[in-house]
C-alpha cells in the first residue's frame, strides 16, 4: 500500500514537471516570436530614419541652393539699383544744365523785349535801340565764353546752344575757337550714344586732338573714345555666350529652381563683363542701354530672344 502511494506521488510530480516544461517551452517560443517582431520593427524604423536622413539632406541641399540663388539675385538687384542711381545722377546734371541755359535764354529775351520797347519810341529810336540791344546781346554772349574755363562752359552749354551762339556771333567772333572746341566735344559725346562705327571713331579721335586746352573732361572723353571698340567687342562676346546658352537650355515650363539657375547664369555673364572690363555704365550710354534691354527681357523670361540686340553692336 505504501509503495502504491509512492508511485502515485511520483507520477503526479512527474506530470507536474512535464507541464511546467511545456509551459516554459511555450513561453520561450512566444518570446522568440516577440523578439523577431521587435527586430523587424527596429529594422523598419531604421530604414525609415535613413529615408528621413536622406530627405533632410536633400532639403538642406535645396535650401542652400535657394540661398545661393537668392544671394546672386540680390547681387544682381544691387547692380541694377546702382545703375539706376547713376542714371538719376546724370538726369540731375542735365536738369542743372538746362536750368542754366534757360537763365541765359531769359536774359536774351529780356534784352529783345527792351528792343521792342525802343521800337515804340519812333523810327530813329528803333534803329538806335536795335543796334544798342544787338551789341549788348553780342557782348553778353562773348563775355559768357571769354570769362569762363572750358570745364565751366561744358556744364552750362549744349551743342544746340553753342551752334545758335555761333550763328548769332558770326565766323569772325573772337571766341570762335572756343565754340568750335565745344562743338567737337559734344559731337564726341554723341558718338558714345550711337552704335560703334570704326570710321566715325577715327574721325572723332582726329577732331579731339584739335582741342588744345587743359581739360579733364576732354582727356576723359579721348580715353572713352579710344576704348569704345574694346568694350563693344567685349559686350558682343558676352551676349553671344548668352545666346549660346539659350540654344542649349530652355526653361519653359520648368520649375522655379531651374528658371532661377538659368537667370543666375545670365546675370553672372553680365556681371563678369562688368568686372573684367571695368565697365562704366555712365560713360557708354549706348552699350548700357543694350545691357538694360537684355536684363529687362530676360528677367521675366530667361528664354527671351536677344538676337536683335546682337545686331545693334
Structure confidence by residue, pLDDT tens digits, 177-199: 999 999 999 999 999 999 999 99
Together in a domain, 96 and 187:
yes
Q: What DSSP string describes 6-36?
A: HHHHHHHHHHHHHHHHHHHHHHHHHHHHHHH
pLDDT digits (tens, 9 = 90+) for 141-174: 999 898 899 999 999 999 999 999 999 999 889 9
Together in a domain, 182 and 257:
no
Q: Decide if 279 is inside a domain.
A: yes
Phi, psi of 187 (to 5 degrees): -65, -35
Contact 146, 118 (CB under 8 A): no
Q: Kindly report the pTM of this predicted structure.
A: 0.60
Residues of the chain with pLDDT below 70 are 1-70, 72-77, 79-81, 83-133
Instruction: State the angle between helix axes of 159-169 and 176-191 in degrees (0 to 180), rounded to the nearest 10.
Output: 150
- Given this model, what pLDDT does residue 51 score? 54
Residue 106 CA to residue 117 CA, distance in Å, equals 16
Together in a domain, 177 and 260:
no
Return the DSSP state at 282.
T
Contact 184, 156 (CB under 8 A): no
Closest C-alpha to 306, from 287, 290, 285, 289:
290
Together in a domain, 89 and 140:
yes
Together in a domain, 290 and 238:
yes
Together in a domain, 184 and 264:
no
Together in a domain, 168 and 251:
no
Q: Decide if 146 is inside a domain.
A: yes
**Sign of the dihedral through C-alpha 288, 293, 299, 305:** negative
Domain count, the chain: 2
Range of the domain at 174: 82-191
Together in a domain, 184 and 238:
no
- Given this model, what pLDDT does residue 26 score? 65
Together in a domain, 166 and 235:
no
- Given this model, what pLDDT does residue 153 score? 95
C-alpha cell at 54: 536622406
Q: Decide if 280 is inside a domain.
A: yes
Together in a domain, 187 and 96:
yes
Q: Decide if 294 is inside a domain.
A: yes
Residue 176: C-alpha distances to residues 1, 105, 179, 183 (Å): 159, 20, 5, 11
Together in a domain, 179 and 255:
no
In our burial notation (b when 16+ CB lie closer than 10 A, e otherwise), range 55-78 reads eeeeeeeeeeeeeebeebeeebee
Together in a domain, 184 and 103:
yes
Of 175, 191, 207, which marks where a domain is finished?
191
Q: What DSSP string describes 162-180?
A: HHHHHHHH-TT-TTHHHHH
Helix (H, G, I), strand (E, B) or coil at 225: helix
Of 191, 215, 249, which marks where a domain is finished?
191
Q: Decide if 260 is inside a domain.
A: yes
Q: Decide if 306 is inside a domain.
A: yes
Q: Decide if 273 is inside a domain.
A: yes
Of 191, 208, 243, which marks where a domain is finished?
191
Q: Decide if 64 is inside a domain.
A: no
**Sign of the dihedral through C-alpha 234, 237, 242, 243:** positive
Closest C-alpha to 62, from 70, 72, 74:
70
Amino acid at each position: 500500500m505504501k509503495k502504491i502511494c509512492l508511485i502515485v506521488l511520483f507520477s503526479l510530480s512527474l506530470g507536474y514537471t512535464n507541464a511546467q516544461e511545456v509551459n516554459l517551452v511555450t513561453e520561450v517560443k512566444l518570446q522568440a516570436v516577440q523578439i523577431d517582431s521587435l527586430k523587424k520593427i527596429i529594422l523598419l524604423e531604421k530604414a525609415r530614419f535613413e529615408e528621413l536622413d536622406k530627405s533632410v539632406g536633400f532639403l538642406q541641399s535645396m535650401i542652400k541652393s535657394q540661398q545661393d540663388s537668392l544671394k546672386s539675385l540680390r547681387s544682381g538687384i544691387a547692380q541694377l539699383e546702382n545703375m539706376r542711381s547713376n542714371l538719376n545722377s546724370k538726369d540731375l546734371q542735365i536738369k542743372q544744365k538746362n536750368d542754366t541755359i534757360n537763365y541765359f535764354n531769359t536774359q536774351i529775351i529780356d534784352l529783345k523785349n527792351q528792343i521792342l520797347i525802343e521800337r515804340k519810341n519812333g523810327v530813329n529810336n528803333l534803329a538806335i535801340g536795335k543796334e544798342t540791344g544787338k551789341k549788348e546781346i553780342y557782348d553778353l554772349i562773348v563775355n559768357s565764353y571769354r570769362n569762363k574755363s572750358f570745364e565751366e562752359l561744358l556744364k552750362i552749354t549744349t551743342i544746340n546752344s553753342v551752334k545758335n551762339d555761333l550763328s548769332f556771333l558770326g565766323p569772325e567772333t573772337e571766341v570762335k575757337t572756343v565754340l568750335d572746341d565745344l562743338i567737337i566735344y559734344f559731337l564726341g559725346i554723341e558718338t558714345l550714344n550711337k552704335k560703334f562705327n570704326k570710321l566715325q571713331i577715327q574721325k572723332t579721335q582726329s577732331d579731339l586732338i584739335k582741342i588744345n586746352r587743359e581739360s579733364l573732361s576732354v582727356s576723359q572723353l579721348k580715353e572713352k573714345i579710344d576704348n569704345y571698340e574694346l568694350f563693344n567687342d567685349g559686350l558682343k562676346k558676352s551676349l553671344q555666350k548668352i545666346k549660346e546658352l539659350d540654344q542649349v537650355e530652355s526653361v519653359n515650363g520648368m520649375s522655379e529652381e531651374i528658371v532661377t539657375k538659368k537667370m543666375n547664369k545670365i546675370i553672372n555673364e553680365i556681371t563678369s563683363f562688368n568686372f573684367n572690363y571695368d565697365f562704366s555704365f555712365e560713360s557708354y550710354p549706348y552699350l548700357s542701354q543694350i545691357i538694360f534691354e537684355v536684363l529687362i527681357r530676360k528677367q521675366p523670361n530667361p528664354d527671351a530672344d536677344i538676337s536683335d540686340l546682337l545686331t545693334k553692336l
